[in-house]
Structure 1
Amino acid sequence: MKNGMMLAALGCTLLLAGTADAQIGRRFPSERKVVKDPVTGTPLTFLTSSASGDSKIYQTHNQWTSDGQWLIFRSGRVRGEAMAVHEKTGQMVQVTEGGFTGMLNIARNSMKLYFMRRPPGETAQQAGASAGTAASAGLQIVEVDLARLFADSKAGRMKAASEYQRVCGTTPPELQAGGDMALDGDEAWAYFRVGREEAARHLAPGARLEQNFGPRNMGAGPSGIAAMNVRTGALKHVVSVPFQIGHIQTNPWVPGELVFCWETGGKSPQRTWTVQADGSGLRPLYPEAEYEWVTHEAVISKDEIAIAIMGHRKIPSSTKDVAAGTPVSGANPGQEAAWGPSGTREKPTGLGIINHRTREMTIVGQTPSGSGLWHVSGSPDGRWAVGDDFARNIYLIDRHTREMLLLSAGHKQTAADHPHPTMSPDGTRIQIQSAMLSADGRSMNICIIPVPRAWLKRKY
């Protein structure tokens, strides 16, 4: 009996310890390390360096808090929760409690964080059902007051999670909400995907639905975008389209302007799209040809969006191959013949910059060989563009001179994901995720790469 009571007490202690470990505001010691890039010599600041399952927010979204001091990222340190790391000190703080799903949205003009999460108490089985049916209770959109959270965490006087996290509203089950969420430039509306049934209700009668495209059997419609006002909880439908919507992003400098993609898992018939928050102005952002493989669009300034026009596929070179109808091929991922004739360098490829106002597109750089630039970003002031390639190399481009610099290499190709470079708001540094320090070659860390001082001093 005594042993049973002791075991029960131990179980309660462990349960309470686990609960305490999951609390918002919990602080973690610095892992900050500065190492020299083994190929280029560039100093790399690893803000995390342990094998804790870190990954950055996708490059379509903001990475830094509005005060420029913290970066927020996903991590396995506390399962299902998000972390922040102070760029100068390396101190880490847990910034969510109760989990999150989909994209983390850091406000640019206020010390706020927004995300979606399942309502407390929803089981994993219900959550799985919510992906394809209206069986779940919907999703909450939550706001975190980061300023109060960081101050109280530093002072060691944390309060209940509800003091820092506010539920803006809950999406109705019939919306089947989920996926990427994007915060508007006015920080009043949050946009998110809706399910097929809800999207179909808003399509024009007789609209022709697109079918799956490519070997991954993705891309079929319909799909749609809805929005919630994070101040009032009001909901509105934005747009429905006859294909599968992928990444959704907003223009942080122009409220009510959205960019999204047709997701197929590879080449799309028409990848990039734009629409206004009231559903007007729906059009292709960059009208692409069959031979163009466009991907990884990212809004980089008030008027500009960066895209990658892939040049990663090899074409038949011998007369015998041409006569035999040998398809384009190559060793890099995503080069199956079923994607069609796109992605070769028979036509212009590289890092493209689209002017949203004039609709003009300029290619500012391309690697001389290999995959070409893949995930792209740029500085809001128009000075720099940056991209990675299949080998995890990071290239910096001076948009004024078109000079291209291999800024960082040696990031292991075995990594769990790609670097996904993102420029800082002030255009002085780049954030990536990297497995360079990982013993297993897969687990990634958060890394900052500086723009070279000599480049920053350039006058034009």
Structure 2
Amino acid sequence: MKFKILLSTFFIFATATIFGQIGTRFPSEKKTVKDPVTGQKLTFLTTKSAGDSKTYPTHPQWTSDGEWLIFRSNRVKGEAMAVNEKSGIIVQVTEGGYNGTLCMAQKSMKLYFMRNGQDNKMQVMEVNLANVFADSKSGKMKSVSEYERVCGITNPEMGASGDMALDADEEIVYFRVGKEEAAKHLDSEVVIEKNFGPRNMGAGPGGIGSMNLKTGEFKHVISVPFQIGHIQSNIWNPGEIVFCWETGGKSPQRTWTVMADGTGLRPLYPEADYEWVTHEVVISKDEVAMAIMGHRKIDIEKDVPVEVSESTGIRNPVNPGQESNWGATGTREKPTGLAIVNLRTREMIIAGQTKSGSGLWHVHGSADGRWAVGDDFSRSLYLIDRKTNEMMMLTTGHKETASDHVHPTFNREGTKIEIQSAMLSEDNRTMNICIVNVPKEWLKRKTK
């Protein structure tokens, strides 16, 4: 009996070790279904309830060869996965965990991220995906050190976080630093912002640092008097950064841009008090898409936004922004919708807006300027032809009870969109990785 217990314990330990190794392969779960409302084809690359979620739309989703999508998953808790879009095969691509954003290079088959090291130090890691995929396919995996490289290690005093972005030249990463580090580089006369809104977020100071992936050299980019979030690079233009004032909702001035040498700091889209701007994302060399929300109805008699609850400050657990504490903002008394700002001319256009409901919420666009896409509170997905302003619903029914939002992101060619969806989820919460193609009849349209 004792021998059996020992053998069983060894088997469990060995199995856990094997399935925690980089290069571990999982069988295809790929499944194609028709949207029950629109009839559009949906290709689910994962279908099991394994805690899948895609990388945020501010970052590329596909590897540089266009064949694999990187995503988060609990198949091996704390590790990242890649799924081959054609075969459906899933491969574990990290070993030892990661912290924050997964950054896919677009000029090489490399993956970058931060990892918690010893003594509160953060390691900036590089993974050679080409070697991982090749050895995983052959069944001859080596030790993890053969695939990973430590590019640099931050000092604990930096307070570095995994909110990280890879520069267009793929030689530098940008990341958020802590309040103490940010304060060191801020003029003492600058007034530090306090928390804003019912989520008690947004207080400063905040800062961005950079690290050279070849030399490990660190530099300070910028400090600001507010909380920084959603750091992203312009992957077509080296040295250009976009970030936000993060409050968890409406910000006094949401969107910002700065160059890697700290020059050119300015609001990306100077917003009015009544505008609720959110979910900015660089979509091409010269353009940033963002949502100007129109999700709050007006109580005509009281002349204030209608609240979900009579109690002030109660956060809607499904859809945000209904608390009275946000003030008179986010209504449709002024223009709202999927906005696209030109980084060079600073001109803004509204590409489209839903006729009713929350309005477009998480947004993206194709790099060639043909398409824009956005989801809404119902988790429906809308495609916009930027030349004709025509809008069509691609898919719906992805369940408002899902553990996260749809978060649409175009591939580099502008022919397909990745989303995360709970459509197939039995518990109505667990999400899967899903691909929605731009309809063929739209792709055939002349681009002139």
TM-score by length of 2: 0.96
Q: Is the 8 A contact 2:174 2:208 kept in 1?
A: yes
Counterpart Cα distance in 2 of 1:147 and 1:389 = 36
Say yes or no: does 1:187 pair with 2:170: yes
* Alignment partner, residue 69 of structure 1: 67
Q: Deviations over 1:336-361 (max 9, x none)?
A: 11111110000000000000000000
Q: Deviations over 1:118-149 (max 9, x none)?
A: 12xx5xxxxxxxxxxxxx33110100001111
Q: Is the 8 A contact 1:117 1:139 kept in 2?
A: yes
5+ residue gaps, structure 2, are 309-315
Q: 1:329 aligns with which of 297, 307, 311?
A: 307
* Alignment partner, residue 35 of structure 1: 33
Say yes or no: does 1:219 pair with 2:202: yes
Q: Deviations over 1:193-212 (max 9, x none)?
A: 11111000000122110000
Counterpart Cα distance in 2 of 1:99 and 1:240 = 29
* Alignment partner, residue 434 of structure 1: 421
Say yes or no: does 1:143 pair with 2:115: no
State the superposition RMSD in angstroms: 1.1
Q: Which amino acid aligns with 1:42?
A: Q
5+ residue gaps, structure 1, are 123-135
Say yes or no: does 1:284 pair with 2:242: no
Q: Deviations over 1:32-81 (max 9, x none)?
A: 00000011000000000011110000010000000000000000100000
Q: Is the 8 A contact 1:118 1:138 kept in 2?
A: yes
Counterpart Cα distance in 2 of 1:204 and 1:451 = 49
Report the CA distance between 1:5 and its aligned residue: 5.1
Counterpart Cα distance in 2 of 1:327 and 1:56 = 33
The SS at the match of 2:163 is: strand
Q: Is the 8 A contact 2:305 2:331 kept in 1?
A: no
Q: Is the 8 A contact 2:209 2:219 kept in 1?
A: yes
Say yes or no: does 1:117 pair with 2:115: yes
The SS at the match of 2:392 is: strand
The SS at the match of 1:433 is: strand
* Alignment partner, residue 131 of structure 1: none
Counterpart Cα distance in 1 of 2:123 and 2:11 = 31
Q: 1:24 aligns with which of 22, 25, 34?
A: 22
* Alignment partner, residue 54 of structure 1: 52
Q: Which amino acid aligns with 2:364?
A: S
Q: 2:184 aligns with which of 184, 201, 204?
A: 201
Report the CA distance between 1:10 and its aligned residue: 3.4
* Alignment partner, residue 81 of structure 2: 83
Q: 1:342 aligns with which of 329, 339, 342?
A: 329
Q: Deviations over 1:84-140 (max 9, x none)?
A: 000011011000000001000000111000000112xx5xxxxxxxxxxxxx33110
Say yes or no: does 1:456 pair with 2:434: no
Q: Is the 8 A contact 2:276 2:329 kept in 1?
A: yes
* Alignment partner, residue 242 of structure 2: 259
Q: Is the 8 A contact 1:73 1:83 kept in 2?
A: yes
Q: Is the 8 A contact 1:141 1:170 kept in 2?
A: yes
Counterpart Cα distance in 2 of 1:91 and 1:179 = 28
The SS at the match of 1:40 is: coil
Q: 1:354 aligns with which of 341, 347, 365?
A: 341
Q: Which amino acid aligns with 1:142?
A: M
Q: Across the two proteins, how many residue pairs are aligned to each other?
A: 438
Counterpart Cα distance in 1 of 2:114 and 2:231 = 14
The SS at the match of 1:63 is: coil
Counterpart Cα distance in 2 of 1:284 and 1:236 = 22
Say yes or no: does 1:394 pair with 2:381: yes
